[in-house]
Structure 1
């Protein structure tokens, strides 16, 4: 017997605002049969193919310590890591740490509007280009 992951849940002060931010980051969407809006206590968004789901639920307290679990995001081919970093900063993310190296490897640590950390990695194309340099 095994289990599968139904969805990933984020505690949130404002589930709606968090779901809107992450929907823009990941190109996810709400279920049209179960719409949600500002003030709702639970907001779930789905990947385009429906295989991944993120649930944001209202809790009364702010994030207090470093995440023990976080998302590592890999940009689509167009633009790569640095273009995705710029896009996410305009959506409301903040940069927490920069682990980019002169050779092009590394990642950037960001936080969503409620302080949850996540990382931006290199795209497949960027990783391939670095592997061909050696």
Structure 2
């Protein structure tokens, strides 16, 4: 049994507007079949995509607080010219510069129209084949703990683990990385951005959820009514929320 990351879930007051921003930012398409706005590669909706992690923008009534998100996206660039062009385009779309203490870094920190931080990286060889999203980055206090949990939770390969950094990627070596970065502060507020996981066809979702609990996940009540939703909300050992979706 295994689970695969399939979506980055982003909460927004104006889900359609934030979805359009991310579609333009990534060169993808925004699909709004229901209340959420799904952002994925153009050419017609394919879900789950076999390579990329789509972005599902979900409407919520509460705006983002001033607290920095503990989960964010890193965007890849292929050259200094590409980085400069992407930064200019993102700002024209409504992104704003953000100071999160990065200092004189070669990457640039921006926020989307509702304040969700993300980074536009300088060219790095490791990210040349990831597509527009280089990595989903999670702040944590214990990367080794997170590597053990997430390495067991999903079918991705653990590439690196140290006291400061842990890195996973699809076993097929495609799409973005999942990275855990050591930070001194612990999580204190609900995540505005989280991962959605999906069992493979034929796998038992309930059994997968029980397996995650055995790895250290805890049940999470975010106000969902059990009779109204098909997904299960959990938290990892450091309290980061994530959802296990129904494969049917």
Does structure 1 retain, via aligned residues, the 8 Å contact 2:137–2:180? Answer: yes
Q: Which residue of 2 aligns with 1:101?
A: 227
Q: 1:117 deviation in Å?
A: 0.2
Q: Given the alignment of the two structures, is residue 24 of structure 1 paired with residue 152 of structure 2, yes or no? A: yes
Q: Which residue of 2 aligns with 1:131?
A: none
Q: Which residue of 2 aligns with 1:111?
A: 235
Larger helix share, 1 or 2: 1
Does structure 2 retain, via aligned residues, the 8 Å contact 1:99–1:106? Answer: no
Q: 1:42 deviation in Å?
A: 1.0
Gapped regions of structure 1 (runs ≥ 5): 128-134
Gapped regions of structure 2 (runs ≥ 5): 1-24, 28-74, 76-131
Q: 1:99 deviation in Å?
A: 4.2
Q: Which residue of 2 aligns with 1:45?
A: 168
Structure showing greater Rg: 2
Give the paired residue count.
Answer: 117
TM-score, scaled relative to structure 1:
0.78
Larger strand share, 1 or 2: 2
Moved over 2 A (4+): 77-80, 97-102
Does structure 2 retain, via aligned residues, the 8 Å contact 1:15–1:58? Answer: yes
The separation in 2 between residues aligned to 1:99 and 1:77, in whole angstroms, is: 25
The separation in 1 between residues aligned to 2:180 and 2:225, in whole angstroms, is: 28
Does structure 2 retain, via aligned residues, the 8 Å contact 1:92–1:112? Answer: yes
SS in 1 for 2:145: helix
